[in-house]
Structure 1
């Protein structure tokens, strides 16, 4: 039966090359002298040639060993690197996380979370790729990304999902006549032109139902996929909008007023990852960290919609 090369044999060989004697090599490796001799004998038998000649009281590597020495050292260095990286992964300090997200998150909330997460993890790197919900779902199914932040997710067997219902608020420019109200209802804004999400979104349907329940019609000004776009328009002095509180707080010092909206409507976010792709420990830790940043804005009991 053909014998296989073992890493410990290479370690013994390089220790003897470095020290010149089996005794010193054994001390460095923390094993007995006979153990080192056996490792060298087995390695010599496997390779098919002698490893050392004697010269001046020291063991001198043969020409064959000299020919292989650089390659052996590279193997040992690589194994040492793998060991260090493995330790870093165990300590959650190394790895790579590929994140897919809604476009608004790529510029408004996620970067700050990533920056905070990476501060104490110098060996961790992150990819952030924004796109529409349909594309994010495809990426999860195809296992191209580790983690996704999306909305409108209706479930899929190849995707694990954690839903978080974020509170929504009404925003309007400073100086608007709505400033005198502590809470905004559909009837109060029935005559206002509203910036809202796409008509085919679950959130728009919930918002429209809230208006219909009070016998009001929603007057459209701008239709946009992103809450951040709605916030930008309002901060420039135009219209009012019903947006997630998470997005509204990014604009709190930018010429807008924020009021609770009644009835309570949540914006359902889904934190998703591939079902059949084993997540790394660092990925799971990041998902937990990201979810924790949403907790202050979470509607604990989702309303019937």
Structure 2
């Protein structure tokens, strides 16, 4: 499928007719019909059935739609980017980070970095770690911040900070009385943690297995904040990355480190072979200063 065929297919799916697609694309109805006919011949299956004067998508068309939608979402993003470039609105520093990082200390770092720099513009994207790596590798952003591991050979990484999975639980829970929660004490406790697709789930499962316990996992989540919210509402003890607990107000919850600790690394990600701009280099220094203020890095000596 080429981009023109994508356009025709997408327009018909949006409008439900060849006539509507032609109007949307500002072309003639026969040209849309011709592209659709060639496309179905090329694919060797039908994309639409005509029912009651309208085109009804086949199951094959419905299966294609999410990926085609994703293509047009990215094209729309590129169009907005070119408009920003033409209008001089593009930020001089573009950053992408995993959700809890972007909405935690990185948001604070960006806000305080902008203070006193009225001419600076920053674009901050909150994404999954693989999406961040993809944006950096394609040079859509200058700097990424993600949790390890990073599998791409098209980027370079630099350690930013080491952190740990924690037990997030009500402050009045018996296990919250100690400064840390021993993994063995979680036996029989209802647990909220990540879905298997999340890299942190591997860390949690390994730690529980090494402790010789298999507590019931009552809920699985995509991001840490959802796990914290479930703990807030009494679903169970959340074994998650606790950064959002520091960034948002959860007065009834506490985070206790696990014993033994379940550690992971957070890294800066840059396009391979591309040095930082002077602004990016200053921003990285500022991020480290914010981490020291937050107690997530030891003070400089």
In the other structure, the counterpart of 2:32 is none
1:201-224: per-residue Cα shift (whole Å, max 9, x none)? 342222222211221014212222
Consecutive unaligned residues in structure 2, runs of 5 or more: 1-90
Give the Å deviation of 1:199. Answer: 1.8
CA distance in 1: counterparts of 2:134 and 2:158, whole angstroms: 17
SS in 2 for 1:297: coil
SS in 2 for 1:116: helix
SS in 1 for 2:273: coil
CA distance in 2: counterparts of 1:245 and 1:298, whole angstroms: 16
CA distance in 2: counterparts of 1:218 and 1:150, whole angstroms: 29
Please state if 1:124 is matched with 2:120.
yes
SS in 2 for 1:105: helix
Cα gap change, 1:238/1:251 in structure 2, threshold over 3 Å: closer, same or farther? farther
Q: Is the 8 A contact 2:192 2:221 kept in 1?
A: yes
CA distance in 1: counterparts of 2:202 and 2:172, whole angstroms: 29
Give the Å deviation of 1:270. Answer: 1.9
CA distance in 2: counterparts of 1:298 and 1:191, whole angstroms: 34
Q: How many residue pairs were aligned? A: 207
CA RMSD of superposed structures (Å): 2.5
Cα gap change, 1:103/1:263 in structure 2, threshold over 3 Å: closer, same or farther? same
Q: Is the 8 A contact 1:152 1:201 kept in 2?
A: no
In the other structure, the counterpart of 1:197 is 194
SS in 2 for 1:169: strand
Q: Is the 8 A contact 1:101 1:148 kept in 2?
A: yes
Deviates more, 1:222-231 or 1:135-144: 222-231
In the other structure, the counterpart of 1:265 is 262
In the other structure, the counterpart of 1:237 is 234
CA distance in 1: counterparts of 2:131 and 2:255, whole angstroms: 32
CA distance in 2: counterparts of 1:198 and 1:213, whole angstroms: 19
Tell me which of 140, 143, 147 is aligned to 1:144.
140
Q: Is the 8 A contact 2:99 2:126 kept in 1?
A: yes
SS in 2 for 1:223: strand
In the other structure, the counterpart of 2:220 is 223
CA distance in 1: counterparts of 2:166 and 2:155, whole angstroms: 30
Aligned pairs for 1:1-305 (under 5 A) are 96-163=92-159, 164-251=161-248, 253-295=250-292, 296-298=295-297
SS in 2 for 1:238: coil
1:34-66: per-residue Cα shift (whole Å, max 9, x none)? xxxxxxxxxxxxxxxxxxxxxxxxxxxxxxxxx
Consecutive unaligned residues in structure 1, runs of 5 or more: 1-94, 300-305
Q: Is the 8 A contact 2:105 2:291 kept in 1?
A: no
1:262-294: per-residue Cα shift (whole Å, max 9, x none)? 111113222111123342101111122223333
In the other structure, the counterpart of 1:19 is none
CA distance in 2: counterparts of 1:102 and 1:256, whole angstroms: 23
CA distance in 1: counterparts of 2:148 and 2:258, whole angstroms: 21
SS in 1 for 2:184: coil
CA distance in 2: counterparts of 1:179 and 1:138, whole angstroms: 39
1:231-280: per-residue Cα shift (whole Å, max 9, x none)? 22222333111233433323564210222211111132221111233421
CA distance in 1: counterparts of 2:102 and 2:256, whole angstroms: 25
Q: Is the 8 A contact 1:246 1:297 kept in 2?
A: no
CA distance in 1: counterparts of 2:228 and 2:297, whole angstroms: 19
CA distance in 1: counterparts of 2:248 and 2:123, whole angstroms: 26
